[in-house]
């Protein structure tokens, strides 16, 4: 085992030596680090001075070293997974949780923070410093450290029980999903399905005892996994099978041995009790306490204004779909089939209508978006907007896979600002799905540390001589993650606990990422980064027009669905159901009356598989998706108002965006940051307009 001195996980402050790091560094390296940090923590607890230098700087330094080492392990688990790495990760994870709790629930540190806040030096600290202290105090309070002994014991009991219930909830969803399948044998049951789905379904069948199964002749095993279920509902012609799948899906984990009903009731009751211990009226108030939104009623107000702006358009969407569906049915001589459009018909006819209206396929766009050109266009946009240059620096440092690129970001005077890695292609054998931005190093003014980011995507790899040809969605994803990366890299906050994306409220953190996506619908930007890999042609304007038209297709229906989930999440967490004499399903039915245009089935139990709020981090926070979308659309509208063709006005707005949203990080309250950029509070008008929900004239 490597000694502490040579363990590459301990080289904090330098670019990681990916050529040296191996799974065998993890257990020893992390344990040694925890041991020395535990010593430092005890030392700090015994001797702390309630000043910035005496308390926060040691915490900052401990957090940075642990963040670097454990961040590297987490990063490699995501991009270069192996059994050895997974085992090493699992072996030390529990010890890290224990150490984290020890720090979060440290009485001396909590009292030191309180003394610092009440002391004579506090008012002379800079705003980001004060905000760091306030947020550390809030986190400590939310972790129960301020409670009297008996209450704290109950708090810890509840926290432990909630962790178990969250796991039970997820396991039930997983087990219930696995317990259901349809083995289809007749070709008419799989009519309409894409070839790719038939191949997957045959493969599923083979791994379940049907060794002879083929994509052409079946049998085909259909499950409730999203990549199978969704295309089946969108393309499967067999209406009876669609109904069967739909019903199974919305009743998942709601009956039998994997029933989550009682699990949910327990989770909600315990969360309510936990919030009460901390002095909040309900769990939603506890959640909102650390968010950008000021109150539940403010969130409710936003949700209601979006609902009233989208409900009639969503009804129109439904009417359009109804008449389209009956027309289609008449055409095919199956009129009786869709006398009445049912819930399991919606996705199917929505896809047929989409095909009829915007006849282009994602595949037809790919040749216009080779990765090298998309990157050139993205970097040119960053230069126009923010005055930064991005230069390739491949080979200057080691990487974890030959496809990974390394770039440096330079400021207007050519000064080094930041750096990032880009790992673009899917590598299913060792890389997690999805796309993300993560931190390698954060900015620290005291040590002159510059930020370094990881941008990870899962896009189509190059084949033969062809470059990676990106779908439009893949272009959007790259812009999105780059937006997160910009906020991490262009921060000017000197204090690492609030630099970049750190310390930013959950409901505000998607602002820069979604903001960048807007540029993919800007003609000059999108045409500018497109270049047919064979002919060199730019994307034809007709195709661009179809992309922008498709953006608003059924936007009101999608908006309403998200609002329904958001409101239901808040309603469940904002009251004591027992006291109110309601159960979770009666709350659902009550909200569905105003928030859906097609009422859910009486048997609908989708709450039983709503993992975001019962097993993820979104409890009383699902609204964050829409909240951040309002911010990002409104931010983009500042550029629209300036005139997107006016390059000097765009550059001016871009510099302002850089100097506010991208620079101030978690050091300034997000509402102040937004107002500094926009000159006023956010308004949902731009989001509604981008969704096609108000006329251009209004
Ligand atoms: Zn994001």
Element (H, E) at 275: helix 261-277
Q: Which residues surround ligand 1, an ion (CB under 5 A)?
A: 513
Token couple for 79: 């991009």
Element (H, E) at 12: none
What pLDDT shows up at residue 337? 54
Ligand 1 centroid to residue 630 C-alpha, Å: 14
Ligand 1 centroid to residue 42 C-alpha, Å: 37
Between CA 618 and CA 682 the distance in angstroms is 22
Query: Could you list the mean pLDDT of each consecutive 10-residue stretch along the chain, which spans 698 residues?
Result: 71 95 96 97 96 96 96 96 94 91 93 97 97 96 94 94 92 93 95 90 92 94 89 95 97 97 97 97 98 97 97 97 89 64 96 90 90 98 98 98 98 96 91 92 90 95 92 96 98 95 96 98 97 97 94 96 98 91 95 97 97 93 96 98 95 98 97 98 96 65
In sign, the C-alpha dihedral spanning 326, 328, 332, 337 is: negative
Ligand 1 centroid to residue 325 C-alpha, Å: 36
Ligand 1 centroid to residue 226 C-alpha, Å: 20
Bridge partners (DSSP) listed for residue 436: 456
Which SS3 state, helix, strand or coil, does residue 41 take? Answer: helix
In sign, the C-alpha dihedral spanning 139, 494, 513, 688 is: positive
Ligand 1 centroid to residue 484 C-alpha, Å: 7
What pLDDT shows up at residue 1? 47
Between CA 513 and CA 484 the distance in angstroms is 5
Q: Which residues contact 19 (CB under 8 A, 6 or more apart)?
A: 398
Catalytic one of 60, 64, 439, 481: 481
Ligand 1 centroid to residue 564 C-alpha, Å: 21
Ligand 1 centroid to residue 38 C-alpha, Å: 33
- Quick check: 686 and 637 in contact, CB under 8 A? yes
Q: Which of 135, 137, 131 has the alpha carbon at shortest distance from 112?
A: 137
Between CA 371 and CA 468 the distance in angstroms is 6
SS3 for 295-328 is: CHHHHHHHHHHHHHHHHHHHHHHHHHHHHHHHHH
Q: Which residues contact 678 (CB under 8 A, 6 or more apart)?
A: 634, 635, 638
Active site annotation includes 304: no
Strands 416-425, 452-459: parallel, antiparallel or unpaired by DSSP?
parallel
pTM for this prediction: 0.92
Q: Which of 252, 245, 232 has the alpha carbon at shortest distance from 181?
A: 245
Between the alpha carbon of residue 650 and those of residues 385, 657, 663, the distances in Å are 7, 10, 18
Between CA 166 and CA 183 the distance in angstroms is 31
């Amino acid at each position: 085992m490597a000694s502490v001195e040579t363990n590459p996980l301990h080289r904090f402050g330098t670019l990681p030596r990916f050529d040296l790091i191996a799974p065998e560094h993890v257990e020893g390296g992390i344990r040694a680090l925890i041991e020395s940090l535990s010593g430092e923590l005890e030392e700090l607890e015994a001797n702390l001075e309630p000043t910035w230098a005496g308390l926060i700087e040691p915490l900052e330094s401990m957090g940075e070293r642990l963040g670097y080492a454990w961040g590297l392990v987490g990063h490699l688990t995501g991009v270069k997974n192996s059994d050895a790495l997974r085992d090493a990760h699992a072996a030390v994870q529990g010890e890290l949780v224990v150490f984290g709790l020890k720090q979060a629930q440290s009485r001396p540190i909590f009292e030191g923070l309180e003394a610092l806040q009440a002391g004579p030096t506090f008012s002379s600290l800079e705003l980001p410093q004060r905000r760091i202290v306030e947020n550390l105090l809030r986190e400590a309070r939310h972790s129960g450290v301020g409670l009297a002994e008996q209450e704290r014991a109950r708090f810890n009991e509840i926290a432990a029980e909630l962790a178990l219930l969250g796991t039970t909830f997820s396991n039930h969803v997983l087990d219930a999903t696995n317990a259901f399948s349809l083995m289809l044998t007749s070709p008419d049951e799989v009519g309409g399905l894409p070839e790719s789905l038939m191949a997957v379904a045959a493969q599923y069948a083979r791994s379940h005892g049907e060794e002879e199964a083929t994509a052409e002749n079946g049998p085909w095993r259909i499950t409730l996994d999203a990549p199978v279920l969704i295309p089946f509902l969108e393309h499967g012609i067999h209406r009876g099978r669609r109904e069967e799948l739909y019903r199974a899906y919305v009743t998942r984990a709601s009956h039998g041995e994997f029933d989550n009903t009682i699990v949910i009731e327990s989770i909600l009751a315990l969360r309510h009790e936990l919030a009460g211990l901390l002095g909040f009226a309900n769990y939603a108030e506890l959640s909102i306490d650390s968010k950008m939104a000021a109150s539940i009623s403010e969130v409710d107000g936003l949700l209601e204004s979006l609902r009233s702006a989208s409900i009639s358009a969503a009804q129109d969407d439904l009417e359009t779909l109804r008449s389209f569906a009956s027309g289609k049915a008449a055409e095919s001589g199956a009129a009786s089939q869709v006398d009445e459009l049912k819930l399991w018909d919606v996705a199917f006819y929505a896809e047929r209508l989409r095909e009829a209206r915007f006849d282009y396929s994602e595949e037809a766009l790919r040749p216009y978006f080779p990765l090298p050109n998309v990157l050139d266009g993205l970097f040119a946009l960053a230069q126009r907007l923010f005055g930064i240059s991005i230069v390739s620096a491949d080979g200057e440092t080691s990487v974890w896979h030959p496809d990974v690129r390394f770039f440096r970001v330079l400021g207007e005077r050519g000064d080094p600002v930041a750096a990032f890695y880009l790992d673009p292609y899917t590598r299913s054998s060792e890389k997690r799905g999805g796309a993300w931005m993560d931190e390698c190093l954060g900015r620290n003014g005291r040590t002159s540390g510059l930020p370094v980011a990881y941008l990870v995507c899962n896009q189509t790899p190059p084949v033969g001589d062809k470059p990676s040809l990106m779908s439009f969605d893949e272009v959007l994803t790259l812009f999105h993650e780059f937006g997160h990366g910009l906020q991490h890299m262009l921060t000017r906050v000197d204090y690492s606990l609030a630099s970049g994306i750190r310390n930013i409220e959950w409901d505000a953190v998607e602002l820069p990422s979604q903001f960048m996506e807007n540029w993919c619908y800007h003609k000059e930007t999108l045409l500018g980064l497109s270049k047919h890999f064979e002919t060199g042609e730019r994307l034809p304007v007709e195709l661009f027009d179809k992309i922008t038209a498709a953006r608003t297709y059924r936007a009101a229906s999608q908006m309403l669905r998200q609002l329904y989930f958001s409101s239901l999440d808040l309603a469940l967490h904002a009251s004591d159901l027992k006291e109110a004499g309601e159960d979770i399903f009666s709350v659902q039915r009550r909200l569905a009356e105003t928030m859906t245009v097609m009422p859910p089935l009486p048997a609908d139990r989708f709450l039983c598989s709503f993992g975001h709020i019962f097993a993820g981090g979104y409890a009383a926070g699902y609204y964050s998706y829409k909240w951040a979308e309002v911010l990002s659309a409104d931010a983009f509208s500042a550029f629209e108002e300036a005139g997107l063709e006016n390059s000097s006005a765009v550059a001016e707005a871009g510099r302002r965006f850089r100097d506010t949203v991208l620079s101030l990080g978690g050091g300034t309250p997000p509402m102040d940051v937004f107002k500094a950029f926009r000159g006023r509070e956010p308004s949902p008008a731009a989001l509604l307009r981008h969704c096609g929900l108000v006329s251009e004239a209004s």
